[in-house]
Amino acid sequence: MDAATTTLRKQLSTTALADVYRFFRYALPDFALNRLLRTMRRGQARKAMLYPVRLLMSKIRGRPRRVMVDLVSVCNLRCPMCSVPPDIAIGATQKKHLDLAEFKRIADELEGHVTDLSLVYSGEPLLHPSFKEIVEYAKTRFYLSTISNGTVIKGGRLEALVDGIDYLQFSFDGLSKESYEKYRVGANYDSVLANVNAVIEAKQRAGIGLPVITITFLVNSYNEDEVEDARRYWLGRRGVNYFFDKPINLNVHRRSDDKKEHDLVHWLPQKSKMTLYKRDEAAGTVEVEKKRAPCSIMQTPVIRGDGEILMCCHDLNNSVKIGNIEKDNLVALWGSEKYAAIRQRGANRQYPICKVCGK
Ligand SMILES: C[S@@+](CC[C@H](N)C(=O)[O-])C[C@H]1O[C@@H](n2cnc3c(N)ncnc32)[C@H](O)[C@@H]1O
Ligand code: SF4
Ligand code: SF4
């Protein structure tokens, strides 16, 4: 390809025309009807046919559409800004993974009431020793999603992802080995890339269009120049549906180590607009941008590994007490006045955690 064509392509990929192209090429195939047809082709006709009814019922009855279930609270990586692994996160459960039996009990309780389960919260979900069995148990009852660092795709996990997960996100924060490994501490670029490729290829071989694959790219000061090339690279791959660049959260309030804002601020991008923070160059400080629009993240409750029900994925430390799945019924709680008031306060960003969460 000559230089002029390359430049034209580069320019095109950042124009509105490119957005239209991307919409038809990637987003349209993910629309609801298409999604249901794919689920049927996968042999999950009951799930597909019940979905619209269940979705409508959960809206009428005012129930959550999706619940996050924390499968694993450990991780094999040490991304510097992630404060979820229990060794640095305040209040993180010390239970390493949710028992399979406990997961089944939760799934039984939620079936028919919620349509989607997110099998991720803290840690790396694919480290769960029974990941395959969990997916097997839940795949015909719920639309399943998960997020993975892509380091461990063995022992039946690849098959579980391709046969049972509907929405799969890989976190891939860098286009070059250098920037990727700088943030994803403990990961090997080549081996993760090979794993992600193996999943994309298996998806393409299966020929059903599932799972919907998203690549997320956490923008930091060491990879911000690579975002657009990474976007082009991933969206040029058949089998990859979406690419999202994401703003990094310093998460200082969630850390139990002695790292403070000034130790971490060098990770914040300098040029990219993809940031949650406002800088005061003169004072050398950063603070979370104040958000005014109502928050909707508390519409997805989280079941932590120790059974605690968290208001939202930002309240890892469980500062807002709701209940525990071992003694409480989530669906019944959701309908209570107390929980409705909590959601209302969360939507209005009235809790102390809301002032620092960045969402
Ligand atoms: C906590 S991770 C758990 C799943 C898996 N271990 C992974 O890294 O993909 C879930 C998502 O949170 C994102 N994440 C981690 N630390 C973050 C931070 N400080 N700010 C914003 N997102 C973050 C990761 O990039 C990932 O997409
Ligand atoms: S891989 Fe995921 S859970 Fe593990 S440290 Fe990185 S962001 Fe956190
Ligand atoms: S604003 Fe409040 S409710 Fe919303 S994500 Fe942040 S902590 Fe949760």
Pairwise CA distance, residues 307 & 144, whole Å:
20
DSSP 3-state assignment of 228?
helix
Which residue shows structure tokens 């999202």? 244
Question: Cβ–Cβ contacts within 10 Å for residue 264, how many?
Answer: 17
Question: Which residues are near ligand 3 (CB < 6 Å)?
Answer: 295, 297-298, 311-312, 314-315, 346, 349, 351, 353-354, 357, 359
Q: Is 79 in the pocket of ligand 2 (CB under 6 A)?
A: yes
User: 148, 184, 189: which is closest to 165 by C-alpha?
Assistant: 148
Q: H or E stretch including 213?
A: strand 212-219
* Ligand 2 atom showing the smallest separation from residue 82 Cα: 8
Give the closest residue (by CA) to ligand 3 atom 1: 354
User: 240, 251, 257: which is closest to 204 by C-alpha?
Assistant: 240
Candidate from 69, 171, 261 with most ligand 1 atoms within 8 A of CB, to mutate:
171
- Name the pTM for this structure: 0.90
Q: Is 82 in the pocket of ligand 2 (CB under 6 A)?
A: yes
Q: Ligand 2: distance of its center to the CA of 338 in Å?
A: 33
Encode pLDDT of 79-135 as tens digits. 988 866 555 555 555 567 899 999 999 999 999 999 999 999 988 999 999 999 999
Find all residues with CB under 8 Å of 206, minimum gap 6, and list them.
162, 163
Pairwise CA distance, residues 88 & 74, whole Å:
11
Range of weakest confidence among 101-110, 220-229, 257-266: 257-266
Instruction: Find the angle CA(189)-CA(194)-CA(200) to the nearest 5 degrees.
Output: 125
Encode pLDDT of 145-185 as tens digits. 999 999 999 999 999 999 999 999 999 999 999 999 999 99
Pairwise CA distance, residues 115 & 23, whole Å:
25
Say if residue 1's pLDDT is above 50: no
Say if residue 25's pLDDT is above 70: no
Say if residue 289's pLDDT is above 80: no
User: 142, 76, 75: which is closest to 103 by C-alpha?
Assistant: 142
Question: Cβ–Cβ contacts within 10 Å for residue 168, how many?
Answer: 24
